[in-house]
């Protein structure tokens, strides 16, 4: 009897050990930590005075410490203009306060050597804070229906190359928490997180477009309005106090982006370099956003089978980034989670990473003048933009095919390409929250006869 108990205990220990090996959480966090350590090592040359373009380690964090008056002790929005929404400015100020607590000196009369030390501390504090947000992103994706897909984020080359260019990991964390809350059928909390995301960077606002269409199609508009109302409340809660204290400081972000012309990385910038400038890039962007959004909404509404929510997210995000007036290298981080959720295939992930990596190298060579002085001139930089846009549109095209022909969708039919899968399990939208397994509204089935 004792031997059986010992044997049973050993078998349980072995099963527990085997489960640990196949548990994605430690491996995803390990891969993410390694990626982030490599990212920080990449930033060292810039901290040591190397050419930021040649070393490809440029970051906004250090230069804006000086350019936005943080070195002089100024507070974002209150006494210094900041071209970011309020939560990004708040994170900058939090890093400033921690820098001071750690012994950094800021102020108009501080010696240059002390200011340089404070700048280095400021960069380090931001790196640690952003690492925390990055871990939140991984944690949220590990709790979605396909936890191993979080590895595609943890090990993404984009994290190593662009993770510290700006403060984008904060908005990625809020967006991921919103997706997780929605998948758990908590639309109010999803709206709160997305509203905070919009208060950090504007792009999470796009999630409400496919959300509205799919909730309308399935008769789940109550969940949509709950989420939208919570988002508006969260956004107002952090924006209204700043606006009341300094209307001009709050408005600076909006006027800065409205007045901005065609800039680096955009389709419009490439056309300008090629000798075909678009006189009014803002109007062209607006036109294509309206036309493209209408087409995407029609697809989401009228596809034979209701698309997955993440597929709608991906299509809107690709449209926005393709027609936007600027494409900073770190914008790839905005798209990465949507690529992983909408099209979780390693082949597509590799092709996407290669295209973005080529653009990452090309933009620094362009800014450094290396490409312009070579035989290819600006043509190589234009080619990198077109390759990047082409791959983004290719992935969007695959998602459109998956919507029209769901048998190719790697989430709905994870074993579609396996010859041994006699009867693969059919899934609907496992991270769609109230949309998962929701039938189309009766009026949709009445007036659109081809719906499944």
pLDDT at 249: 83
> Is 439 within a domain?
yes
pLDDT at 373: 55
> Is 370 within a domain?
yes
> Is 301 within a domain?
yes
Q: How far apart are CA 345 and CA 343, in angstroms?
A: 6
Domain housing 365? 24-416+424-447
Three-state secondary structure of the chain: CHHHHHHHHHHHHHHHHHHHHCCHHHHHHHHHHHHHHHHHHHHHHHHCCCCCCCCCCCCCHHHHHHHCCHHHCCCECCCECCCCCHHHHHHHHHHHHHHHHCCCCCCCCCCHHHHHHHHHHHHHHHHHHHHHHHHHHHHHHHCCCCHHHHHHHHCCHHHHHHCCCCCHHHHHHHHHHHHHHHHCCCHHHHHHHHHHHHCCCCHHHHHHHHHHHHHHHHCCHHHHHHHHHHHHHHHHHHHHHHHHHCHHHHHHHHHHHHCCCCCCCCHHHHHHHCCCCCCCHHHHHHHHHHHHHHHHHHHHHHCCCCCCHHHHHHHHHHHHHHHCCCCCHHHHHHHHHHHHHHCCCHHHHHHHHHHHHHHHHHHHHHHHCHHHHCCCCHHHHHHHHHHHHHHHHHHHHHHHHHHHCHHHCCCCCCCCCCCCCCCCCCCCCCCCHHHCCCCCCHHHHHHCCCCC
Least confident of 207-211, 278-282, 369-373, 447-451: 369-373
Q: Model confidence at 452, in pLDDT bands (50, 70, 90)?
A: low
pLDDT at 142: 97
Quick check: 182 pLDDT over 90? yes
366-to-183, 270, 362, 370, 372 alpha-carbon distances in Å:
42, 12, 6, 6, 7
Quick check: 420 pLDDT over 70? no
Report the interhelical angle of 281-302 vs 378-404 (nearest 10°).
20
180 or 261, which is more confident? Answer: 180
% of the chain at pLDDT higher than 90: 71
pLDDT at 209: 97
> Is 3 within a domain?
no
pLDDT at 271: 92
> Is 148 within a domain?
yes
278 or 426, which is more confident? Answer: 278
Least confident of 51-65, 139-153, 176-190: 51-65
pLDDT at 299: 97
23 or 253, which is more confident? Answer: 23
pLDDT at 450: 72
**Residue position matching structure tokens 């590895």:** 151
Q: Model confidence at 418, in pLDDT bands (50, 70, 90)?
A: very low
Tokens coding 294: 């209408």
> Is 1 within a domain?
no
pLDDT at 15: 45
Q: How far apart are CA 316 and CA 210, in angstroms?
A: 8
Region 291-310 average pLDDT: 96
> Is 16 within a domain?
no
Region 289-296 average pLDDT: 97
Question: Among 231, 424, 400, which Cα is nearest to 308's?
Answer: 400
**Residue position matching structure tokens 């640690």:** 128
pLDDT at 417: 45
Number of compact structural domains in the chain: 1
> Is 359 within a domain?
yes
Least confident of 69-78, 104-113, 266-275, 443-452: 443-452
Quick check: 112 pLDDT over 80? yes
Q: Which residues contact 77 (CB under 8 A, 6 or more apart)?
A: 86, 89, 242, 245, 246, 249, 250, 252
Least confident of 7-16, 383-392, 400-409, 440-449: 7-16
């Amino acid at each position: 009897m004792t031997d059986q108990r010992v044997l049973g205990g050993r078998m349980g220990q072995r099963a527990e050990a085997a489960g640990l090996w196949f548990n994605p959480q430690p491996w995803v966090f390990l891969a993410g930590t390694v990626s982030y350590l490599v990212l920080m090592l990449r930033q060292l040359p810039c901290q040591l005075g190397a050419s930021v373009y040649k070393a490809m380690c440029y970051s906004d964090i250090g230069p804006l410490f000086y350019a936005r008056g943080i070195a002089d002790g100024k507070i974002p929005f209150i006494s210094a203009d900041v071209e970011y929404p309020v939560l990004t400015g708040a994170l900058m100020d939090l890093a400033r306060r921690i820098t001071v607590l750690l012994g950094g000196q800021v102020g108009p009369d501080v010696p240059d050597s002390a200011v340089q030390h404070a700048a280095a501390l400021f960069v380090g504090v931001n790196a640690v804070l952003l690492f925390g947000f990055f871990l939140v992103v991984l944690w949220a994706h590990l709790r979605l229906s396909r936890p191993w897909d979080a590895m595609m984020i943890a090990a993404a080359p984009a994290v190593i190359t662009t993770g510290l260019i700006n403060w984008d990991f904060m908005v990625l964390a809020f967006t991921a928490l919103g997706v997780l809350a929605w998948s758990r059928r908590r639309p109010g909390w999803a709206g709160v997180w997305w509203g905070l995301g919009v208060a950090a960077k504007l792009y999470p606002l796009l999630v409400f477009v496919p959300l509205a269409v799919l909730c309308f199609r399935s008769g789940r508009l109550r969940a949509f309005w709950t989420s939208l109302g919570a988002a508006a409340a969260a956004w107002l809660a952090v924006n209204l106090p700043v606006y009341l204290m300094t209307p001009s400081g709050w408005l600076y972000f909006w006027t800065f982006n409205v007045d901005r012309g065609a800039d680096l990385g955009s389709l419009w910038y490439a056309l300008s370099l090629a000798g075909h400038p678009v006189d009014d890039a803002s109007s062209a962007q607006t036109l294509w956003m309206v036309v493209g959004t209408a087409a995407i909404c029609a697809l989401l509404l009228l596809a034979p089978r209701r698309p997955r929510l993440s597929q709608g997210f991906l299509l809107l995000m690709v449209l926005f980034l393709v027609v936007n007036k600027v494409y900073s290298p770190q914008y790839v981080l905005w798209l990465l989670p949507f690529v992983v959720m909408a099209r979780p295939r390693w082949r597509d992930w590799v092709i996407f990473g290669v295209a973005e990596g080529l653009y990452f190298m090309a933009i620094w060579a362009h800014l450094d003048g290396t490409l312009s002085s070579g035989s290819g001139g600006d043509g190589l930089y234009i080619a990198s933009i077109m390759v990047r846009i082409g791959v983004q549109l290719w992935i969007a095209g695959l998602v459109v095919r998956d919507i029209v022909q769901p048998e190719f969708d790697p989430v709905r039919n994870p074993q579609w390409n396996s010859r041994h899968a006699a009867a693969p399990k059919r899934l609907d939208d496992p991270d769609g929250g109230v949309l998962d397994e929701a039938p189309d509204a009766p009026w949709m089935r009445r007036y659109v006869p081809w719906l499944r």
